[in-house]
Chain A
């Protein structure tokens, strides 16, 4: 673990993997003096109030890391029904050297955990993608991807929350509303949420 400065009121804590970053997010966000604690792929950004004891915070982070952590699900597991009709489904299967059915089977077989959100509001990076499906994003991103597009890129899968540009490979579409600013919890998929896809 490394604690790196991020301006005058925040530190970036670097860890080994997404699961550890998520654990730090869950365990540090309610610590005294912590304003928020935002996870990403291998790091968490901790913003803190003035006069927060940084040494204490770092010690607490080290304590969390030393624990034997069993993955703790956050909230209810979510199952998303997907029509596997994405524009990149066939070409991605071909590039991966497998059939479309095999790709869909592998995508629906896994249990995913939201590692972090980013890119745009409600866009969740789901960890747990079958390593056989790891594939770089498109060489040239689309200028417009429809809301509800289910996609993969690198070690992640995700759902586009609203129409936006995007470079991930589109496998299918879900009718689930993953982002709605009028809901009490606008994001359906928040860090730690367990997610499954089901072929509809």
Chain B
């Protein structure tokens, strides 16, 4: 078992989330920084979709039994990063808040073995699915040894200074003025304090609408840049609802979504556009 000694700002169990349930209203959820989760799992020999701990601004954990772990994502002092680490029974590790970035991942060989809900062990903070957010004193079971070996190497540093997120315009770019489309990719956007796993609220120049009628509810995906009437975009996170009534001006690609996972309130970003699918 793993005991939560201190939970930091928000600690949850996350895998790659719930699939094919959007049609009954279930969000994807899952790790916000999917690249970091996959890396942590690979380092300890887990399948990519094993459940790990997503820690926000540090965490402290005590391991009852000997364990092999890997920590990735926002780099914290207190343990070797991006590499498999073997811990003796009874070890406590303390990940201090990272200097940059927001979310860190702790994978344990065998995975976190809380009961799956709707095919996933992920905590969805909006829909109340999966294990409740972790609190000091919670104890998490570890699953059986996976067949794959531990990787005896250190992954190249994943600390990224990238702050330009690649987006594909649409589906509702035609609801905005052409000036607004330019503004989206030329302005600097600041992450607001009211940001979480449901969405990152951004501050910057208002994106002006060309069509001002109300939009009938549309399906959404994590990464969509939804624009409410105040003109300031919200980047939908993993726990965002599956439908929304505000027009989506553009969608952030997978790599940009992982970068977004690491943004803190006050961080500045920009968007660059790439061509999308469709006709």
CB–CB A121/B127 < 8 A:
yes
Q: Is B172 an interface residue (CB 8 A)?
A: yes
The complex places the Cα of A97 from the Cα of B217 at a distance, in Å, of 28
Interface size on A, residues (CB 8 A): 44
CB–CB A181/B23 < 8 A:
no
* Contact A40 B169, CB 8 Å, known A25-B23, A117-B23: no
The complex places the Cα of A117 from the Cα of B25 at a distance, in Å, of 5
| CB under 8 Å from chain A, chain B span 219-266 | 219-221, 223-224, 241-243, 248, 251-254
Distance in angstroms from A60 CB to nearest chain B CB is 14
CB–CB A120/B127 < 8 A:
yes
Binding site for B on A (CB under 8 A): 3-12, 14, 25, 29, 35-45, 47, 54-55, 58, 116-125, 162, 181, 186-187, 190-191
CB–CB B221/A47 < 8 A:
yes
Q: Across the A-B interface, give the 5 residue pairs with the lowest CB-CB distance, nearest first.
A: A118-B243, A5-B276, A4-B171, A7-B251, A45-B219
In the bound complex, residues from chain A placing their C-beta under 8 Å from that of B25 are: 117-124, 187
Bin the interface of chain B by size.
Answer: 35 or more
CB–CB B279/A3 < 8 A:
yes
The complex places the Cα of A136 from the Cα of B231 at a distance, in Å, of 23
Q: Is B170 an interface residue (CB 8 A)?
A: yes
Q: Is B179 an interface residue (CB 8 A)?
A: no
CB–CB A3/B278 < 8 A:
yes
Distance in angstroms from A88 CB to nearest chain B CB is 21
- CB-nearest residue of chain B to A182: B117
Q: Is B10 an interface residue (CB 8 A)?
A: no
Distance in angstroms from A27 CB to nearest chain B CB is 14
CB–CB B216/A41 < 8 A:
yes
CB–CB B219/A40 < 8 A:
yes
Q: Is B148 an interface residue (CB 8 A)?
A: no
In the bound complex, residues from chain A placing their C-beta under 8 Å from that of B251 are: 5-8, 10
Distance in angstroms from B172 CB to nearest chain A CB is 7
10 A-B residue pairs with CB within 8 Å:
A5-B169, A9-B277, A10-B221, A10-B251, A12-B171, A12-B278, A43-B219, A121-B24, A121-B26, A181-B129
